[in-house]
Amino acid sequence: MDLRNQEEQIKPEDDIIRLSKRQRTQILDSDDSLEDIHETNSPQTSNQGNQRVLQVTPRFLYGKNKHKWSSVPRSATTRTLRRNIVHFIPGPRGKARELQEPIDLFRLFMTNDMLQQVVTFPNAEIITQRNRYKQESYTVSQTNLLEIKALLGLLLIAAAMKSNHLPNCILFNPQRSGTIFKACMSAEIFNFLIKCMRFDEKQTRNDRRKEDKFTHIRELWQNMIDNFQKWYTPGSYITVDEQLVSFRGRCPFRIYIPNKPNKYGIKLVMAADVNSKYVINAIPYLGKGTDTQKQPLATFFIKNITIPLHGTNRNITMDNWFTSVTLADELLQPPYNLTLVGTLRSNKREIPEKLKNSRIRAIGTSMFCYDGDKTLVSYKAKSNKVVFVLSTIHDQPNIEDATGKPEIIHFYNTTKGAVDTVDQMCSNMCVNRKTNRWPLCIFYNMLNLVSINAYAVYVSNDLRNKKKPTLRRNFVMKMGNQLMDPWLRERLQTVTLRRDIKVMIKDILD
């Protein structure tokens, strides 16, 4: 039979399904057959390995606010977008690349000029407190830089030993906590210095507080953040999330978050590097009085906390409190030039109704829609739970073969936990002590962040030099010892010092 007769015997209506233009634009997997495509208005299923991807036949989808989405992605054969090309070598920079000792790394972020403020303002408070005592003693005398460093060293050592929650009567008992605390200073001096700790000028505070509720410690805080950004180059992926510093005393911007372990505290919006967990920036939430410059609160925080990263094409991963479609569009534009990956709340009006949960939808299925540079995926994780993730860095409906989950969700799970890890590190090795003054609570958290960032720089330098880094606990212990060492040597020269304490100091100094 010749070819012409063969073609006449085959009828198009019997064996060949002619595809419309809309059907030809759908993405098909290698296992899909043409017979699996039906022109209906319900979602369609295409097998990708062990995962099913639901594809909606309408070319365009609309949210409640008439936001327009497309069910067809851009061509996968086009070249990589410019916003997805990021070249950064993360790690310390400048003189931070050469530092190995914990004390040098501590001075990098908490400079002597900053510590001098922690000496000047407490001394002013000591003069006021001293007038309330009947007789003057060494306990109520003014402090100096070496003694303040020794105090910070004790706090760091207590954190490394997990003794920060112990009362002073146990902490300064040599039989229970060792001789390090007793050798450094008496419990009375320790209590008095903590009681007099101040970080700003008390006489002008009321005028400054009208404009800035955080003015009690604003200058010291900002200097620390500037040092964080000065000595480290973050990687291409950044996490933005919130940290709740536990505090139950009086504070004009204390908040209550029921799903947090501590529930009550001071909220910090924080940005951290995904790989090293290095804290890049942090902004305190000051309550309803925050000047958002007529922007949504979450948008205001994201734009301000990413100021050091503007114009770098880095990716910002965030949770559903921050993520919005409007924010994703704004971050792509100058001067921000940032990409976004974040979960989206199901009540957002931009989400099409067909992407939401339905009873007939199988568990583990995914649905994609696109709008320019934005990709929205709907993944059904459980029978009653659908997760929405918005991305401006992904543009294809790729599925991981091993898990059957979308690539966008894998990327989000990989990059979302930096700030949570920082919060966990603060809890595991914490200098915080019980206090009713929120500026002191913030100062304790500053010491926690300084120790975390110092350790991140230390690990980066050791790995670059092909050395094995020491444990973080040993690093913090050594930092505390090095902070106390000059004060112990000076105290040893005191003529009237008790003999048993001199023996303790000599044993510590070896």
> Can you spell out the DSSP letters for 80-117?
PPGGG------EE-GGGGG--SHHHHHHHHS-HHHHHH
Strand partners, 264: 256
Report the Cα 60 to chain-centroid distance in Å.
36
Angle at 226 between CA 224 and CA 231, to 5 degrees: 100
In a domain, 456, yes or no: yes
Q: Is the dihedral of CA 364, 370, 376, 378 positive or negative?
A: negative
Tokens for 148? Answer: 């303040």
Q: Which residues contact 9 (CB under 8 A, 6 or more apart)?
A: none
pTM of the model: 0.88
C-alpha 221/C-alpha 183 separation (Å) is 31
In a domain, 290, yes or no: no
Strand partners, 256: 264
pLDDT tens per residue across all 510 residues of the chain: 443 444 444 333 333 233 333 333 333 333 333 233 233 344 554 444 334 788 777 889 999 999 999 999 988 777 767 677 777 889 999 999 999 999 999 999 999 999 999 999 999 999 998 888 877 777 889 999 999 999 999 999 999 999 999 999 999 999 988 999 999 999 999 999 999 999 999 999 999 999 999 999 999 999 999 999 999 999 999 999 999 999 999 999 999 999 888 899 999 999 999 999 999 999 999 998 788 988 999 999 999 999 999 999 999 999 999 999 999 999 999 999 999 999 999 999 999 999 999 888 999 999 999 999 999 999 999 999 999 999 999 999 999 988 899 999 999 999 999 999 999 999 999 999 999 999 999 999 999 999 999 999 999 999 999 999 999 999 999 999 999 999 999 999 999 999 999 999 999 998
Contact 341, 389 (CB under 8 A): yes
Q: Nearest-CA neighbor of 388 among 343, 355, 324, 418?
A: 343
Q: What is the pLDDT of residue 11?
A: 38
Contact 390, 341 (CB under 8 A): yes
Domain count within the chain: 1
Q: What is the residue whose two structure tokens read 């949504």?
A: 296
C-alpha 101/C-alpha 149 separation (Å) is 16
SS3 label, residue 53:
strand
Q: What is the DSSP letter of 309?
A: G
C-alpha 193/C-alpha 173 separation (Å) is 19
In a domain, 126, yes or no: yes
Q: What is the residue whose two structure tokens read 């510093």?
A: 245
In a domain, 254, yes or no: no
In a domain, 472, yes or no: yes
Q: What is the pLDDT of residue 80?
A: 67
Cα end-to-end span (Å), the chain = 103
Q: What is the residue whose two structure tokens read 């000065």?
A: 230
Q: Nearest-CA neighbor of 165 among 153, 177, 175?
A: 177
Q: What is the residue whose two structure tokens read 């540079």?
A: 373
C-alpha 19/C-alpha 12 separation (Å) is 12
C-alpha 292/C-alpha 301 separation (Å) is 8
In a domain, 130, yes or no: yes
Q: Nearest-CA neighbor of 270 among 282, 262, 279, 258?
A: 282
Strand partners, 244: 267
Tell me the backbone φ, ψ of residue 434, rounded to 5 degrees: -65, 130
Q: Which residues span the domain enclosing 111?
A: 91-206+428-509
Angle at 125 between CA 124 and CA 128, to 5 degrees: 100
In a domain, 41, yes or no: no
Angstrom CA distances, 475 to 154, 157, 368, stand at: 14, 10, 47
In a domain, 101, yes or no: yes
